[in-house]
Amino acid sequence: MGFAFWLDPTFRLVAVGSALIGAVGGVLGTFALLRRQSLLGDAMSHAALPGIVLAFLLAGSRDLPLLLAGASLSAWLGALLVVLITHRSRIRPDAALGLVLSVFFGFGIVLLTVAQRQPTAAQAGLERFLFGQAAMMLRRDVEGIALATVLILVVVLLLWKEFKVLAFDPAFAAAIGLPVMALDVLLTTLIVLAIALGLHAVGVVLMSAVLVAPAAAARQWTHRLERMVILAGGFGALSGVLGTLLSSWIGRLPTGPMIALCASGIALFSLLFAPHRGLIWTAKSPGGKRDAGPSG
């Protein structure tokens, strides 16, 4: 076995791509976590189904960029509905996400039954499109991921203050005249973009892990947003590299789930051992639980 795989260009490509997805997931996941929208990744990846099937029905082929465009568009529409529902009714983010997830996915299934009436066999396994394979990453994919990563990070940096206020106190943000709904739409759009990146590379369920686990881990180590975002990005990137490493090292292990498991492991470690907030730490110090501060 040895360490020869470091030199393998395929391995390095997958590792770099996974690290970038992990980093973006960590950064954006931090905001999602603070806004109680951790499951946005899960909901949006289900909401992508009707877009995929519609793109197929309209084009009549399984052209990859086209299906991706359909998926992103439909996930984005779902995300907008989540923003609208939470802003304009008493329904909280979790239920709004659940509504969009179940209805969009159900509608996608309805469209699938329509697609199955097509005379061609090309519709077979359209839903499988949602379960990506990181090992299949191409150079072109990684370049696209890198470009989107830079774009997302630049927007987050430019709107840092606005996003910060939005994450901690949306009522205050509205009071000082920030366009809360527009910012919310922008932030959600960025998250959808990240999901679209990760969807094909690591798959649906694993994209949720990349959005939640690094951010939840980072939250245990610090109370400051700056540090939390950097830590979460780092944890995400680390999970990406570690997961790729393990899957090519041990063999017969799919990359996506290994990335998710690495992220979960980091989160578990942080929940237990992080100073001040970790469960082991607080169990040992008297009155420790009080030091832990608020959750989320």
Partner 1 sequence: MLAPQVEIMLVAALAGAACALPGVFLFLRRMALVGDAISHAILFGIVVTFLIVRDLRSPWLLIGAAGTGVLTAVAVDALRRTGRVKEDAALGLVFPALFSLGVVGIARGVGNIHLDLDAVLLGELAFAPFDRLIWGGWDLGPRGAWVMGGLLLLNLTLILVFYKEWTLSTFDPDLAEIFGFRPAVLHYLLMGMTALTVVAAFDVAGVVLVVAMLVVPPATAALLTDRLAHMLGLSVLLGLGIALGGYGLAYALDLSIAGSMATVGGILFVLVFLGAPGQGLIAQARQAARQRQHLAQQMLVIHLLSHEGTEAEYEENCLKTLPLHLRWDPAFAAQVIQRAERVGWVVREGELLRLTEAGRRAAREIIGSNGGMIPLSR
In the complex, the smallest distance separating the C-beta of residue 68 from partner 1, rounded to whole angstroms, is 22
**According to the binding rule CB under 8 A, does residue 163 interact with partner 1?**
no
User: Are 205 and 46 contacting, i.e. CB atoms less than 8 angstroms apart?
Assistant: no
Our finding on whether 283 is near partner 1 (CB under 8 A) is no
Could you give the string, one character per residue 64-103, with x where binding to partner 1 holds by CB under 8 A and - elsewhere? ---------------------x--xxxxxxxxxxxx-xxx
Enter the tokens of residue 148: 């989107």
Separation CA 267–CA 282 (nearest Å): 17
Find the DSSP H helices in 35-92.
Answer: 40-47, 49-59, 64-88
Lookup: tokens for 6: 């470091």
Considering only residues 212 to 271 of the shown chain, the ones binding partner 1 according to CB under 8 A are: 212-213, 215-216, 219-220, 252-254, 256-258, 260-261, 264, 267, 271
Question: In terms of CB distance, is 139 or 289 closer to partner 1?
Answer: 289
What is the smallest separation between the CB atom of 166 and partner 1, expressed in angstroms?
Answer: 17
Burial 47-79, CB ≥16 within 10 A → b, else e: bbbbbbbbbbbeeeebeeeebbbbbbbbbbbbb
Choose between 94 and 162: whose C-beta lies nearer to partner 1.
94
Q: Are 221 and 274 in contact (CB under 8 A)?
A: yes
Name the site residues for partner 1 (rule: CB under 8 A): 33, 36-39, 41-43, 46, 85, 88-99, 101-110, 112-114, 205-206, 208-209, 211-213, 215-216, 219-220, 252-254, 256-258, 260-261, 264, 267, 271, 277, 279, 289, 292, 294-296
